[in-house]
Chains A and B, each alone.
Chain A
Amino acid sequence: QKEVEQNSGPLSVPEGAIASLNCTYSDRVSQSFFWYRQYSGKSPELIMSIYSNGDKEDGRFTAQLNKASQYVSLLIRDSQPSDSATYLCAVSLSGGYNKLIFGAGTRLAVHP
């Protein structure tokens, strides 16, 4: 079983719709959770971090964490074509010296 699992997609949504991206992780002691966006040929860009159960909103983005279910998700409201990218879920133990474990990423395509 992979440590962090994501559906590879592509997830295709129309412009203006809500895109829902999901991620599950296997290590119950994981403490920190992150969503990154990566455009083709570029390095990943941090979108959201979440550390406690519940929802965290930032603009059009909402991260949701459920530690009991070992599940973290990212909702993108009012999706735009510029949101088309690969979204990477990452988890780690607490502490700045701990490595992040990345999922394989979900490719999102927002069509006009």
Chain B
Amino acid sequence: GAVVSQHPSRVICKSGTSVKIECRSLDFQATTMFWYRQFPKQSLMLMATSNEGSKATYEQGVEKDKFLINHASLTLSTLTVTSAHPEDSSFYICSARDGRFEAFFGQGTRLTVV
């Protein structure tokens, strides 16, 4: 299957700082990428759909000013968690669909805000 690389895999930051997470499609072009958040023992929650060259589409209840998404190229989308707080600690996962429309996930980023 197609490869999606996410970086960093783990990050610890101080409350009030911002954290940027990168998601890259390595062997295909992804016009659309998706960002999810997952709390322990819960299912995936879609946060936003990232479209190359245009504004992201956020799901209801997700603060777009707190979770900044940029999809500047066909292989890279970034999620920036601004002014992070302990309640933002979670597992963040990106996904991209390839030409066959199968969706592949990055390795995930475990964010801990202290």
Per-residue 0/1 for B82-105: is the Cβ within 8 Å of any A Cβ (1 yes, 0 no)? 000000000101010111111111
Q: Are A34 and B102 in contact, with the CB atoms below 8 A?
A: yes
A103, B43: Cβ atoms under 8 Å?
yes
Using C-beta atoms within 8 Å of the partner chain, give the interface range for chain B.
Answer: 20 to 34
Residues on B with beta carbons closer than 8 Å to the beta carbon of A104: 43
Q: List, in ascending order, chain B residues with CB within 8 A of A46's CB.
A: 1, 102-105
CB of B49 within 8 A of CB of A43, answer: no
Select the residue from B46, B93, B105 with max chain A CB neighbours within 10 A: B105
Closest to B93 in A: A43
Check if B34 sits within 8 Å of A100, measured CB to CB.
yes
Q: Mind listing 11 A-B residue pairs with CB under 8 Å?
A: A32-B101, A34-B102, A44-B44, A44-B105, A46-B1, A88-B43, A92-B101, A95-B101, A96-B32, A97-B31, A102-B44
CB B56 to nearest CB in A, in angstroms, measures 12
Q: Which of A36, A42, A102 contacts B108 (CB 8 A)?
A: A42
B residues with a Cβ closer than 8 A to A are 1, 6, 31-32, 34, 43-44, 46, 49, 51, 91, 93, 95, 97-108
Pairwise interchain contact A99-B44, C-beta atoms closer than 8 A:
no
* Secondary structure type dominating chain A contacts: loop
- The interface size of chain A toward B, counting residues with CB under 8 Å, comes to 23
| Contact partners of B106 in chain A: CB under 8 A | 43
> Which residues of A from 81 to 100 have beta carbons under 8 Å from B?
88, 90, 92, 94-97, 99-100
Residues of the A chain whose Cβ atoms lie less than 8 Å from the Cβ of B97: 96-97
Complex CA distance for A95 and B101, rounded to whole angstroms: 7
A110 to B73, CA, bound (A): 43
Q: Which residues of A contact B49 (CB under 8 A)?
A: 97, 99
On chain B, the residues within 8 Å of A78 by CB distance are none
Closest partner residue, chain A, to B43 (CB atom): A104
